[in-house]
Amino acid sequence: MKTKFCGVALLALMLCGTGALLYAQGPGGFGGHGMDEHMAALLNLTSAQKEQIKTLRQAQRAAVKPLFQQLEQLHVQMLNATANGAFNQTTIQSIATQEAQITAQLAVQRESLKSQIYNQVLTSQQKATAETLRQNEITQINERLQHQSQSGTETPAQ
């Protein structure tokens, strides 16, 4: 029973991860248009810089398109493998492993794009701002983790 629960939990996690990646791809590629505009405003990007980033994104879009197609195919395989409540741990594990490998490739591609933007497009001042934003994000994540660990260790009142 515990194994079945873990398998279902893994399946749910993988499906959420796949959905999040597909959502993150959005209409404008990684991050979507909303994130692009938000970051452009925070970094005070020029029109020329926005065009450079657009060109880099378009080049990457061609590279990651097959990966997203593979994820979609794996999603269909997972749906077929679990139809009518079916559960075969070996099959599910195989599909989940393939999804994880593609997700890792997409993460590498995303970080490669960020690096290209940072090194090829941003000015020194914009790099400093980007670094401040990155440090703030790390701080927020650490604060959430600390809060979660503290709330997880507290004994409920009786």
Neighbours of 141 (CB within 10 A): 10
| 143/81 Cα distance (integer angstroms) | 39
Q: How many CA atoms lie within 13 A of 53 on its CB side?
A: 26
Give DSSP secondary structure letters for 69-112. Answer: HHHHHHHHHHHHHTGGG---HHHHHHHHHHHHHHHHHHHHHHHH
Residue 137 falls inside a structural domain = no
What domain count does the chain have? Answer: 1
Return the amino acid letter for 34: G
The gap between the terminal CA atoms of the chain, to the nearest Å, is 30
| 8/112 Cα distance (integer angstroms) | 33
Residue 158 falls inside a structural domain = no
Return the amino acid letter for 133: L
Residue 153: pLDDT over 90:
no
Residue 142 falls inside a structural domain = no
| 79/74 Cα distance (integer angstroms) | 9
Q: Is the entire prediction scored with pTM above 0.75?
A: no
Residue 6 falls inside a structural domain = yes
Neighbours of 124 (CB within 10 A): 7
Residue 67 falls inside a structural domain = yes
Residue 106 falls inside a structural domain = yes
Q: Which domain holds residue 79?
A: 2-123
pLDDT digits (tens, 9 = 90+) for 15-46: 444 443 443 444 444 445 566 899 999 999 99
Per mean pLDDT, which range of 6-20, 27-41, 62-76, 98-112 is the poorest?
6-20
